[in-house]
A and B are shown apart, each in its own frame.
Chain A
Amino acid sequence: MLKGKVALVTGSSRGIGRAIALRLAREGADVIVNYFRRREAAEQTARDIEELGVKASVIRANVGDPEKLDEMFDTVAASFGRLDIFVSNAASGLPRSALDLDAKVWGWTMDINARAFLLGAQRAAGLMEGRGGKIVAITSLGSKLVWPGYTAIGVSKATLEALVRYLAVELAPKDICVNAVGASFVPTEVGLSYAGGAGEEDEGAFWKTTPAGRMVSPEDVAGVVAFLCGSESFMIRGQTIIVDGGFSLTPLNLKGKGGEN
């Protein structure tokens, strides 16, 4: 489906980003793996991609730093000469309530989660010029729901989703589709650290209130990203597709009770 395409997935050494990188590779795309702190994991992802019979390369960059972000795109341009798919997945943040949120944590989170998408999409659009392409941002339900300590990340994701709409309209004449995919809690290393590291107990809480009856996996998210990177989703523009097994539809745990409790 994506044979011969060149894809860049930021933050793809592990977790959801890794699952996306592998899924795009399985669809036939050559994939550039971007990482910030986990070189070994990134190199492992690249090896796993190559085993699928496509090309992989690894670029280190803190996407929150505009200079490093630019250098990453310069490397992509020099190595591949073009880009067909840009998945903005890298994210960061520290748990802080709104009243404890200082300028430093706010800036760090917004720079990596929101500004990097804007600047990255600008560069990606340049590399897609004349051929069109797909841009997908990874967001989270925290853009609309309120979770303890999730303030900066939630707000950054709301910004991201708004940017997706603006970019979708501006880039539509260039045949570049821009959308977002948002998940509920996904039990990756990072996801679990936000759930207080408690692991099974918190996972269980999410599982019980998910109508689909199980947790969302990184592969669930990756599948929807792959769909948005394919030709059949061409007329979907500026949308945030929620992958949560119905979690956000049922704030109370009424699953299967028929209101009898």
Chain B
Amino acid sequence: MSAAEETIKDIIVKIVHCDRKILTPESTFQDMKADSLDMVQVLVALEDEFGIEIPDEEAQKFKNFGDFVSFVEARVAEKK
């Protein structure tokens, strides 16, 4: 489990108020009981935290927690 993944979990738990234990690569936004406002806030928090940009067009393709983590990790790797 990467450091990025732990940070992403921290952010989602803080904003969505879901149980940290349910956050597996397969867990969906329905599992997290996240609405569209939660999602925007999570995206913005991730952008600020990692200094990356997550365009809405890309975010709309995310199906589960794992998609979030891979996208963020890829963008962070590109920055280095």
Q: Which residues of B contact A108 (CB under 8 A)?
A: 37
Cβ B37 vs Cβ A94 within 8 A: yes
Question: How far does the Cβ of A234 sit from chain B's closest Cβ, in whole Å?
Answer: 39
Q: Which A residues lie within 8 Å of B36 (CB)? A: 94
Query: What is the minimal beta-carbon distance from A120 to any residue of chain B, in angstroms?
Result: 19
Q: What distance in Å separates the Cβ of B18 from its nearest Cβ neighbour in chain A?
A: 14
Contact indicator B35/A37 (Cβ below 8 Å):
no
Count contacts on A: residues with CB < 8 A to the other chain.
Answer: 9
- A–B Cβ pairs within 8 angstroms, 14 of them: A37-B40, A37-B55, A37-B56, A38-B56, A39-B53, A39-B55, A40-B55, A62-B44, A94-B35, A94-B36, A94-B37, A104-B37, A105-B37, A108-B37
Complexed CA–CA distance, A201 and B56 (Å): 27
Residues in B with CB closer than 8 Å to A38 are: 56
Least CB distance from B17 to A in Å reads 10
Interfacial residues, chain B to chain A (CB-CB below 8 A): 35-37, 40, 44, 53, 55-56
**With A37-B40, A37-B56, A94-B36 given, can you name 11 additional A-B contacts, CB distance below 8 Å?**
A37-B55, A38-B56, A39-B53, A39-B55, A40-B55, A62-B44, A94-B35, A94-B37, A104-B37, A105-B37, A108-B37
In the complex, which of the residues B37, B44, B55 has the most CB atoms of chain A within 10 Å of its own CB atom?
B37
Using CB atoms, name the residue of chain B closest to A94: B37
Cα A21 to Cα B53 in complex, Å, equals 24
- Residue ID in chain B nearest A62 by CB atoms: B44
Give the tally of cross-chain contacts (CB within 8 A).
Answer: 14
- Shortest Cβ-Cβ A-B pairs, 10 listed: A37-B56, A94-B37, A108-B37, A105-B37, A62-B44, A94-B36, A104-B37, A38-B56, A39-B55, A39-B53
Cα(A94)–Cα(B34), bound, Å: 13
Q: Which residue of B lies closest to A105 (CB)?
A: B37
Which residues of A, 59-112, contact B by the 8 Å Cβ criterion? 62, 94, 104-105, 108
> Which B residues are in CB contact (< 8 Å) with A105?
37
- A40 CB contacts on chain B under 8 angstroms: 55
Write out the residue numbers on chain A whose beta carbons fall within 8 Å of the beta carbon of B55: 37, 39-40
Minimum Cβ distance to chain B for residue A223 (Å): 29
Q: How far is the CA of A40 from the CA of B55 in the complex (A)?
A: 9
Complex Cα distance, B57 from A37, in Å, reads: 10
The distance in angstroms between the C-alpha atoms of A189 and B7, with both chains bound, is 34
What chain A residues lie within 8 Å of B44 (beta carbons)? 62
Residues of B within 8 A of A39 (CB): 53, 55
B37 proximity list for chain A (CB < 8 A) = 94, 104-105, 108
Minimum CB–CB distance from B50 to chain A (whole Å) comes to 15
CB neighbours (8 Å) of A62 from chain B are 44
| Neighbouring B residues of A104 by C-beta, 8 Å | 37
Q: Which residues from chain B contact A94 at a C-beta distance below 8 Å?
A: 35-37
Within 8 A of B (CB), among A29-46: 37-40
